[in-house]
Amino acid sequence: MRPVEIKKDVFWVGCIDWNGIDFHGYSVARFGTTYNAYLVKDEKITLFDTVKAEFRDEFLDILSQVVNIEDIDYIVANHLEPDHGGLLAELVERAKPEKIFCSPMGQRAIEAHFHPQGWPIEAMKSGSSISLGKRTVQFVETRMLHWPDSMLSYIPEDKLLISNDAFGQNVAASERFADELERGFLKRRMMEYYANIVVPYSPVVEKTLDGVADLKLDIDMIAPDHGVIFRGTEDVNFALDTYREFAEQKPANRAVIVYDTMWHSTEKMAKAIADGLLDEGVSVRIMHLKSYHHSEVMTEVFQAGAVLVGSPTHNNGILPLVADMLTYMKGLRPQNKIGAAFGSFGWSGECVKTITEWLESMSFEMIDPVKTKHVPDRASLDECVELGRAVGKALKAKIGA
């Protein structure tokens, strides 16, 4: 790839991972991702972040198309996770920068990751700034969005916010800007990213958005470290408003039914529950865990107001894929959900109790579960339909429909 000048003397110098499969534990096999880095040519030539170490040769090539690496004066490390700091040590060795700027927590991260000797590190607290010559860079700490060391870099002269992981999406594309992609496609990619990485830190997102508003930053470009760049007032507002919407986690009139099944009894129950939800006018998605990666399920969970989880009893518990999904979901801590458990059993029947305890531990508003011995008969399926209706009624009451 070639560098892209996104502002006068400001260049995208990232790498595209066309074949990316795994990203922070979730699947991006269909769309890949990018590792974005940015270079500013000013009196002090400044590099913002690096890329994943596997892309060393590509990164050094694209960077060298803009500048002699040895001429880089400053490096800004907005975040030290390996997909951003993967080549930091090599760049320090080759460029021998005058200064390396990071957050106070970033300094600890650098020390823990690289054990540096004599690096010219300067920790920048929120509100501090540096001069590049014609430009200044203002720093805003965003602790736990989504690591303790995360920060944003704002260049007021260019109205440019280099946002690190915030506003990112996993999209491997030749296009560099949001206005070059279809809006619905882009929002879906933003949602997948948010639902699988950022959602536990939604209070930090709201605080950050409020802080950006309080600072009255004049922004006409947001350049994240993954995916495409938002340029112009309309797209910048779209990015900000979308993140505000995501962070609020308002329940929607949607339900997702997540299950695994052994001999199809639990599957039959899932379909009957869906009928009950449809009777109440609730949009439904049924997802068999043998067919969907947990990251795909989590994106549906994120945008649903109700989550119903089913499993047969297996070894006095639940099937492994259901346990995997519940573990993953609990770690991401989605809010404002109605939940219910269902399942079939042969003799002991612990499945619904186990699932209910998991959902309760996530503070879901629970509806009484349904379980069936062996194969559900008509009466059992009617119970499942009633469960769907009960969840639908509770959901409509919650959203005021």
Strand 136-141, strand 151-155: pairing:
antiparallel
Judge whether 146 counts as a catalytic residue: yes
- Rounded CA gap, 395 and 351, in Å? 24
Please pick, among 84, 226, 294, 314, the residue that the annotation labels catalytic. Answer: 226
Q: Is 349 exposed, middle or buried (0-12, 13-18, 19+ CB in 10 A)?
A: middle
Judge whether 38 counts as a catalytic residue: no
Please pick, among 24, 113, 288, 293, the residue that the annotation labels catalytic. Answer: 24
Judge whether 193 counts as a catalytic residue: yes
Q: Is the CB of residue 195 less than 8 Å from the CB of residue 252?
A: no
Please pick, among 193, 201, 243, 259, the residue that the annotation labels catalytic. Answer: 193
Please pick, among 49, 149, 165, 365, the residue that the annotation labels catalytic. Answer: 165
Q: Which residues fall within 8 angstroms of residue 281, CB to CB, at 6 or more apart?
A: 253, 392, 396, 401
- Rounded CA gap, 260 and 242, in Å? 33
Judge whether 79 counts as a catalytic residue: yes
Judge whether 81 counts as a catalytic residue: yes
Please pick, among 146, 154, 260, 300, the residue that the annotation labels catalytic. Answer: 146
**3-state secondary structure (DSSP) of residue 96:** coil
Q: Is the CB of residue 141 less than 8 Å from the CB of residue 198?
A: no
Helix, strand and coil in the chain, % to nearest 5: 40, 25, 35
Residue tagged 């882009």 (tokens): 186
Judge whether 226 counts as a catalytic residue: yes
Please pick, among 81, 149, 235, 260, the residue that the annotation labels catalytic. Answer: 81
Judge whether 24 counts as a catalytic residue: yes
Please pick, among 17, 35, 49, 79, the residue that the annotation labels catalytic. Answer: 79
> Which residues are designated catalytic?
24, 79, 81, 83, 146, 165, 193, 226
